[in-house]
Amino acid sequence: MPGPLSHIRVLDLSRVLAGPFAGQILADLGADVIKVERPGVGDDTRQWGPPFLTGEDGERGDAGYFLAANRGKRSVQADLADPDGQALVRSLARNSDIVLENYKTGSLAKWGLGYADLAAIRPDIIYCSITGFGQSGPRAGQAAYDFMIQAMGGLMSVTGEADGHPGAGPQKVGVPVVDLMTGMYAAIGVLAALARRAETGEGEYIDLAMLDVMVGSLANQAMNFLVSGNVPRRAGNKHPNIQPQDVFPCRDGHVVVVVGNDGQYAKFCGAIGRPDLAADPDFATNGGRVRNQARLLPQIIAALACEEMAVWVARLEAAGVPCAPINTAADAFADPQVVHREMLVRLDHPVAGSLPMVASPLRFDNARIVYDRAPPLLGEHDEEIRREAGRA
């Protein structure tokens, strides 16, 4: 059964992560994604290592960073500043449904490859421009990277240990979360435009900014500020609105406890041998626990410090209290649930042979995702794509 987007062609002019990640989502869903890359150089992330893929003969391949966001695509080389490259893109656009690009504002229009230029060739084309700050405003012409936007968009102000705690200071998230969220919003946007096109026959231009995505993703922290006027602060792993939710030390490590309601709190107190903490009126409701956490949390810490992590995880799970060990990446891939869900897949790769990759989290009953194309080598599909475009 072909994927749900097997009838769609995507022209991916993007580099690094946000755009390519969106393209990989669409490729996983069955779209034919053509990745256009700089001749002899390719996507910047091909060189963003180590680690690099290594073949059986010791040949060095692409960086893991590139491999994470380019599965399922075909690669063709083209210099967009050169008339031949521009002509190739225009030829490909004629038979493409979606264009993804993340060049600086105005760059592609200067080369005759902006939305207006390609819409003149294919009026119903869906063109998604991904930039750091959008197509308008005082920062529109500036470049941006994930780390910058985590800082500017408020995320780092609420990430990290609280002032006064050892190691206090703002922290970025351990994965490029703004790039990934921007990629997901790009995929959502083009799919919404496809649905509208099916009804109206009209194409669309999508202006997507990383800073907008970050501000829009502050979620409860943003509303906490807008409702109260109080600026959210770093609180380590403590949840600002629900307690107890934190990382707690055990005899041999740490356990994450995520109590989500008053019923779970009562079960938690029973499981740790402190039913009195559930009976205390200062702690009986979540609001009381948030207000009085300075008195509550030290008592929980003292109770959990007396046993090993595995003991607490087993005991709390048996009581129906959400909790978790803090896994490494290796631990996560070995987790029986992750194994059962087949989140690790292997693809045939011309350098590595069998290439392990992280699967898509999407599951369809009637259009199962098929992984049949590894991340491409630079220019791997030059000949066939140029032939399809009539420019062989």
Residues 292, 298, 303, 309, CA torsion sign: positive
Whether the link from the prior residue into 244 is cis, omega within 30° of 0, is yes
Q: Are the beta carbons of 287 and 293 closer than 8 angstroms?
A: no
Which one of 179, 212, 276, 348 is the catalytic residue?
Answer: 179
Is-catalytic flag, 57?
A: no
* H helix runs in 201-308, sequence order: 210-216, 219-228, 262-271, 276-279, 286-291, 293-304
What is the bridge-based pairing of β-strands 204-209 and 245-249?
Answer: unpaired
Q: How far apart are CA 174 and CA 136, in angstroms?
A: 30
Q: How far apart are CA 32 and CA 96, in angstroms?
A: 9
Report the first-to-last Cα separation within the chain, whole angstroms: 32
| Phi-psi region at 246: left, alpha or beta (left = phi > 0; alpha = psi -120 to 50) | beta
Q: Are the beta carbons of 285 and 262 closer than 8 angstroms?
A: yes
Q: How far apart are CA 283 and CA 298, in angstroms?
A: 13
- Indicate which residues carry an active-site annotation: 179
